[in-house]
Amino acid sequence: MHTVVLTKGVPDFREGQVSFDEDGHLERGKTPTVMNPNDKFALKAALQTKVRHGGTVSLMSMGPPGYTEVIQEGMEDVYADDLYLLSDREMGAADTWATAMTLATGIDHLEEEPDVVFAGFKTADGETGHTGPQTEWCLDLPLVTHVVALDIDTDERVLRAKRLVEGDVEEIETVEAPLPCMVVTDPEFEPTYRKADHRLRYKDLREETQERAAEFGEYLADESDAEPTDWDHFEMWDHEALNLDPDYIGLDGSPTIVSGVDPIPKAPSEREATMVTPDDAEGMADVFDEMKPYAGGD
């Protein structure tokens, strides 16, 4: 069983104002980056699949070289066997369509065809939810979205999933899809490990991959003697390695036209704070009087 998980680094808005260039494009190299929160559920689904059915997990992302820390985090979360970063300037400023074409080409470039490709519901910096389904369209695979639970029949090569359907009321729909296929996980996804051997395998995989992730971290930290591409479990591919035409990727290959971008400043505090130290008897009494009504449930 070979699975691929797509993940992305997104701006860490907790750090305050992100950086934009003069044309209004996000400068990712100058903006603090974290893993997209919704990708965590795709990672959990891939890990459950590996624990239950064995095989390997490949983690793939498109972004600048600084994304190595994001995919290292992904390796620790999903216990990935191999990491792939699609990165060069020609891929920069891509919209969801150009991103999907690049990711699909990267997946096609793998030595082993994946049985399942996992993607998160949407990204924190775009909120479109397009990249997963568009990548599936490029790969021409069956697609199952809003997945909250899944299992795989390896003999029949069928994925069975429960997906959340939202309408007037929320309903759970049970569906099947032949392998290979693509799964977009819902934020409601929860992995389950009911069998004792699954829980034991989970523990063994965690220890094994934490060692591998720590080794990768050493390569990243050693700028003098090693490059990330020297590591056996990591590949960084540019557009030439993937045989991609620059006219169809990155900004040039993006049909989306952004009319304008408003930078997001750090929100100012609108509340006043009064400092009270434990040795301030009067101040502590005021704090107690202020909190006392809430202790009674008011």
pTM over 0.85: no
Taking a C-beta distance cutoff of 8 angstroms, is the pair 96, 127 a contact? no
CA 129 to chain CA mean position, Å: 13
Name 149's bridge partners: 162
Q: Cis peptide before 37, with omega less than 30 degrees from 0? A: no
Report the topology of domain 2-248.
Rossmann fold (3.40.50)
| Domain locations in the chain as residue ranges | 2-248
Nearest 5°: CA angle at 189, between 115 and 166? Answer: 105
- Across-strand partners of 176? 160
Rg (the chain; Cα; Å): 23
pLDDT in tens, the chain (298 residues): 999 999 988 877 665 556 667 666 666 667 778 888 889 999 999 999 999 999 999 999 998 887 888 888 888 777 788 899 999 999 988 889 999 999 999 999 999 999 999 999 887 777 788 899 999 999 999 999 999 999 999 999 999 999 998 766 678 999 999 999 999 999 999 999 989 999 999 888 888 877 777 777 776 676 545 455 556 788 999 999 999 999 999 989 998 877 766 665 555 556 667 888 888 888 888 888 888 787 765 5
Closest C-alpha among 109, 105, 100 to residue 82:
109
